[in-house]
């Protein structure tokens, strides 16, 4: 896991290693938007463009919420914890065909 924390951040931002590698391979205009998005998440994880993901029936750690942000055909999936002030980017996926089938696997990383 890669930690990204700027001096003025309100939240600590963690990136899964695959996220860190994948963002370097994104198209240039999306890569720049992702970079700005990560800076925004350090300030406000419940960004207006984010949506709550239903995790009913999944083994969620207490106090953690899973959200996603859509950037064109890309989805940024992340968890955040308000009490501990962290945001954990779990994945960047392209739609279609992505349909959140690996969400349980992503959530399991939160307990490791």
Tell me, what's the pLDDT at 8? 74
Looking at residue 19, the DSSP 8-state letter turns out to be H
* pLDDT tens column, 87-98: 999 999 998 888
At a CB cut-off of 8 Å and minimum separation 6, what does 60 contact?
66, 107, 110
**pLDDT tens digits, 24-42:** 999 999 999 999 999 999 9
Q: Which top CATH class is 2-111?
A: alpha beta
Which of 41, 31, 47, 85 lies closest to 63, judged by CA? Answer: 85
Helices (H) and strands (E) in the chain, counts: 3, 6
Give the start-to-end residue ranges of the domains of the chain: 2-111
| DSSP SS3 for 17 | helix
């Amino acid at each position: 896991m890669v930690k990204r924390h700027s001096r003025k951040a309100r939240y600590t931002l963690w990136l899964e290693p695959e996220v860190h590698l994948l963002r370097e391979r994104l198209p240039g205009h999306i890569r720049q938007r992702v970079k700005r998005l990560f800076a925004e998440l350090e300030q406000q994880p419940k960004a207006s463009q984010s949506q709550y993901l239903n995790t009913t029936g999944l083994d969620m750690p207490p106090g953690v919420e899973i959200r996603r942000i859509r950037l064109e055909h890309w989805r940024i999936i992340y968890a955040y914890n308000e009490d501990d002030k962290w945001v954990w980017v779990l994945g960047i996926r392209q739609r279609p065909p992505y349909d959140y089938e690996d969400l349980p696997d992503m959530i399991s990383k939160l307990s490791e």
